[in-house]
Amino acid sequence: MYEPNWRDDQTDQLVKALVALKNEDEGYRLLDDLCTVSEIKAMAQRLQVARMLKEHHTYNGIAEQTGASTATISRVKRYLYYGANGYQLILQRLKEQND
């Protein structure tokens, strides 16, 4: 089991809440209550950046399409290729859903 250094009782509860979601509507409802619009948009932007990096888009193209800074793109790239494989896992699952 993956053990991040930030794991504690509160983050366990958050992860359990995310895993308990049954559909997109529930996901929207939880995000709406849990996060600010800016936080939601930032997470969505990072996921889009990861997808585009995996598809070999250029930094300039990614920045133009997403509005992400090159610092954000670089950070996402580091985690995409050298992180805990969370981006890789979810991008593969999303791809399988769309195929």
Please tell me the predicted confidence (pLDDT) of residue 52: 98
Q: How far apart are CA 27 and CA 67, in angstroms?
A: 24
Question: pLDDT band at residue 1, thresholds of 50, 70 and 90?
Answer: confident
Please tell me the predicted confidence (pLDDT) of residue 16: 97
| pTM of the entire predicted model | 0.91
Please tell me the predicted confidence (pLDDT) of residue 86: 96
Query: Quick one: DSSP state of residue 6?
Result: T
Contacts of 70 (CB under 8 A, 6+ apart): 59, 63
Query: In this predicted model, what pLDDT tens digit does every residue of 16-68 receive, in sequence order?
Result: 999 999 999 999 999 999 999 999 999 999 999 999 999 999 999 999 999 99
What structural domains and CATH numbers belong to the chain? 1-34 (no CATH), 38-98 (1.10.1270.10)
Could you tell me how far CA 41 lies from the centroid of its own chain? Answer: 11
User: What is the phi-psi region of residue 67: left when phi exceeds 0, alpha when psi lies from -120 to 50, beta otherwise?
Assistant: left
Please tell me the predicted confidence (pLDDT) of residue 99: 86
